Structure 1
C-alpha cells in the first residue's frame, strides 16, 4: 500500500494474491488497530465526474517509510518522488486528524478528485458547509500547478469556499490570490507573525 492513495480493493487483491472479497475485512482490521486512516471522497454534487473512492493513508508515516525501506537521507535526496510526497501527505493528514480532536471548530476531513483532473488532498468542511481545501506538497518551491484543484473548488463553491491552502516544505507564508495561500507545513504548530 502506498502511503496515501485511493483505495481500489481489486488492485490490492491482485498485488497481494488474495480474493478481493477479503480486502475490506483486512482494511477494517487495520483501521480498528489504528494502522490506517480512511478518508472518504468529498463531492457535494459538484459534478457527475467526481470520483467516489476513499483514500487510505498509513496512520504513522514513520512506519510507512520504514516499510518502504526509506531513510531520511534517501527521502531528502529524492524530495520530488511519489514516496516522499505520499509520506508528507500522510504526515499532514495524521497531524490534522489529531488536531481535529481538540479543535474549537468541528470539521469533517475528506479528499476530492474529479475524473477530469482537478484534485485536492484534504477538504475540511464544517457543519455550516464551509470549506477549507488543502493541497500538500514536499516541494520547497511553488508554481500555480499546486493551486489547480483549489481554484477548481473555489470556482464551484463560491462563498462557501473559505480558504485554499498549499502546505509546503518552504519557510514563508505567501498569498496566491483571493483566499489562496501557501503556508509552511510547520504553521500547523506555530502562529505566523502578523
Structure 2
C-alpha cells in the first residue's frame, strides 16, 4: 500500500520555486527521502546520500564537487557532515550564481541548529518539517483513525501487516535513535540510561514538566535531564508545548507540557501493543489528547501555539494564534463533551475569538456562544 502525500509535495514544490535552498527536516524514516525522490533521480550525480561511502568520498572536497553543479542538488542525511553548510553558504552567496544554478534540497533528521554546529544557513534556507502520516493522508475511516492512533504515523509502523510487526519496528526505531542518531548529533549519554529516561518520559505525556523527579530517579543532575529532553525535542520525538503568560492577577503555570509527537512510539514505551490494551490503559485519555493535539497543529498550521493554566485550576489545552485571532482548543475523549467552568474562564480571561472542544464523536454542535464541540475528523472540513 502506498499513501501519496500531496500536500507535502505541493508545499515543497512551492518552496523550491521560491527559495535557493530548502531544508527538509523530520525524524528518520518518516518519508523525507521518498518525498525528495519525486524531484530527482537517485542515480543522478546531483543526489548525495551521506550514509553512502561513495557520496561521502565525493564530498571530501565539497567546494570543488558542488561548485560545478547546476540545477537541483539533493544532499540526504546532511547531519553526517555538520561542516558542509560552510561550503553551501559560500556557494549561495556568490553574486554570479543564478537562482536555479546550484539550488539545494537538504535532508536531515534534527532541527537545523543541532545539525549545523559550525555554520547556520539562517536567512539563506527555508525549512519544511516532515512528520508521519496524519488524518488528511490516512483518511477518516474509523479503522484507519484507530490504527493511526495506536501505531503512530511512521510509514513502516502504520503500514505494517499487523500490530506485532508494527510494535517490533517501533521498538527497533527507538533503539536505533538512542544508539545511533543521538550520538551522531553529539548526545553521548549511555544508551541504557537514555532508554530509561525515554521510558520515564512516557509517563509525563500530557503533563507539566518537572525535571527534579526524573533526575533523582536516574541519579543525574536536573541540568543533564533538561539536556536529554532538549535533544529529544530537537530530533522531533517530543514536543515541549510552552505556557502562555497573560498579564493577569493570577499565578500561572510556567513550565512546559510534554507530548510525544508520535503516539506509536509512546505506546511502544508503555508496553501497549493492541487497541484493547490501549483502551484499558490509565494513560488512554492522555494518549488521545496528544494524538489529537498533533493532528490539530499539523492541519491548522498556526503562527504560534501554547497551553495555558493557572494555579487556581483553570486551564486550556491549546491556545493558537493565527491570522491575528486567538483560538482555544480543548481535547475531551468523551461521547458528548460539555461546557466546563474552566472553559468559561479561559474564554473570558484570554479573550478568545472562538473555543473548540475536539472529541472523537461524529456530530458538531454548539456548547455556548463562541464555544463548539467539533469531531476530530471535522478538522479536515
- Answer yes or no: same fold by TM over 0.5: yes
Return the match for 1:15 from 209, 214, 217: 217
Distance (whole Å) between structure 2 residues aligned to residue 164 and residue 47 of structure 1: 22
Return the match for 2:278 from 69, 75, 99: 75
Query: What do residues 72-108 of structure 1 show as CA deviations (whole Å, max 9, x unaligned)?
Result: 1122346xx4x111111111222233235xx4xx421
Q: In the alignment, what sits opposite 1:136?
A: 331
Q: In the alignment, what sits opposite 1:182?
A: 373
Q: TM-score, normalised by structure 1?
A: 0.83
Specify whether residues 155 and 60 from structure 1 end up closer, same or farther in structure 2 by C-alpha distance, changes over 3 A only. same
Give me the CA root mean square deviation. Answer: 1.8
- The count of residues paired between Structure 1 and Structure 2 equals 178
Tell me if 1:157 matches 2:359: no
Maintained 8 Å contact 1:134/1:150: no
Query: Deviation at 1:47?
Result: 3.4
| Larger Rg over CA atoms | 2
Instruction: Choose between structure 1 and 2: higher strand proportion.
Output: 1
Maintained 8 Å contact 2:209/2:258: yes
Maintained 8 Å contact 2:243/2:307: yes
Instruction: Specify every segment of 5 or more residues in structure 2 that has no aligned partner in the other structure, as ranges.
Output: 1-200
Specify whether residues 45 and 133 from structure 1 end up closer, same or farther in structure 2 by C-alpha distance, changes over 3 A only. same
Instruction: Specify every segment of 5 or more residues in structure 1 that has no aligned partner in the other structure, as ranges.
Output: none
Maintained 8 Å contact 2:338/2:367: no
- Higher normalized contact order (CA 8 Å, seq sep 6+, divided by chain length): 1
Query: Deviation at 1:66?
Result: 1.6
Tell me if 1:168 matches 2:364: no
Return the match for 2:257 from 52, 55, 74: 55
Instruction: Choose between structure 1 and 2: higher helix proportion.
Output: 2
Q: TM-score, normalised by structure 2?
A: 0.44
